[in-house]
Amino acid sequence: MTPHNKAKLQDIAKVVLMPGDPLRAKWIAEHFLMKPKLVNDVRGMYAYTGTYKNKKVTVMAHGMGMPSIGIYSHELFAFYKVNTIIRIGSAGSFVKNANVGSVIIADEAYSNSDYAREVGIKTPNHTLKATPKTLALCKKVSAELKIKSLVGKILSEDAFYSATPWNKRMLLSKGLLGVEMEAFALYANAIRNKKNALCILTVSDSFISNKSMTPEERQTSLKDMVVLGLETAIRI
C-alpha cells in the first residue's frame, strides 16, 4: 500500500486504464468489466479490478492535472509493479478534422511544464513520446476494430483557465491536435520507471466549431475510446 492507494499488490492488474474522473472509472468498471471489485477509494480516487474478455484489468482514476496523475501513475509503476498505463481522457481540439467525439491517439505530448525536469527526465523540444510498442499496438487495434482515430501530438498544459489566449499559428506550426492536462507527466513517469504508457483521448470540446459535450456526455459517451483502450490492454 501507499499513502494514496490502499489496494493490496495482488489487487492491481499489470495493465491499468486511467480516466481522470472517479465517476468515469466507476462507469467503465460497471459497464465493461466482469465482476469489478472496488480496490481503492482513498481520497475518492476509485480503482476497480475485474476482467475484460477473461483478462485481468484495473481501471483507476487519476484526478486532474500533472501533479495528480504524477502521484498515482508513479505509485502504480513503482510500488504495484504495473507494466502499462493507458490514460483515457478528454481533450479540446485545435484542428478542424478532430470534431467533438473524435478519438485521438497521442503519440507525443508537448508541454512547458517542469514536471519531467523535476523527476529527472530530459525533454528534447519540450516533447515526450508514448511507448512505441504500445502505440503501435493501439494503432493496429484501432484499424482492426474500425475505430476512426487521429494519431498525433497533443499539448499538456498546467493551467485550465489560462490567462494567455493560445497562439493559433504556434499550435499549427507544432502540429498539435488538441490540449489536455496529463499525458506529459504520464509519459515522463513511464520513462522514469522504464515502463509503458499511452494516452487515448476523446474530443470533448472544439476550439474550431465551439461545440462541446455536456458534463453527462463526458462521463458516459466515450465508448469508442474505452473499447480501444480495453482491447489494447488485453493484447499487451
pLDDT of 22-34, one tens digit each? 999 999 999 999 9
CA angle 182, 103, 75 (to 5 degrees): 30
Q: Which pLDDT band, with edges at 50, 70 and 90, does 162 fall under?
A: confident
What is the mean predicted confidence (pLDDT) over 156-162? 88
Model confidence at 15: pLDDT above 90 = yes
pLDDT tens-digit series, residues 112-140 = 999 999 999 999 899 999 999 999 999 99
C-alpha Rg value of the chain to the nearest Å:
16
Looking at residue 43, the DSSP 8-state letter turns out to be: G
Given a contact cutoff of 8 angstroms between Cβ atoms, the answer to whether 103 and 146 are in contact is no
Long-range contacts of 98-101 (CB under 8 A, 24+ apart): 98/150, 98/177, 98/178, 98/203, 98/206, 99/203, 99/206, 99/209, 99/211, 100/203, 100/204, 100/205, 100/206, 100/209, 100/211, 100/212, 100/213, 101/202, 101/203, 101/213, 101/221
Look at the chain and count its residues: 236
Q: Is the pLDDT of residue 196 over 80?
A: yes
Catalytic positions are 205
Coil, strand or helix at 122: coil
C-alpha to C-alpha distances, 193 to 78, 92, 149, 162, 188, nearest whole angstrom? 7, 29, 28, 31, 9
Query: What distance, in Å, lies between the first and last C-alpha atoms of the chain?
Result: 25
More confident: 212 or 43: 43
**Whole-prediction pTM value?**
0.95
- Please calculate the CA angle 161-166-169 and round it to the nearest 5 degrees: 170
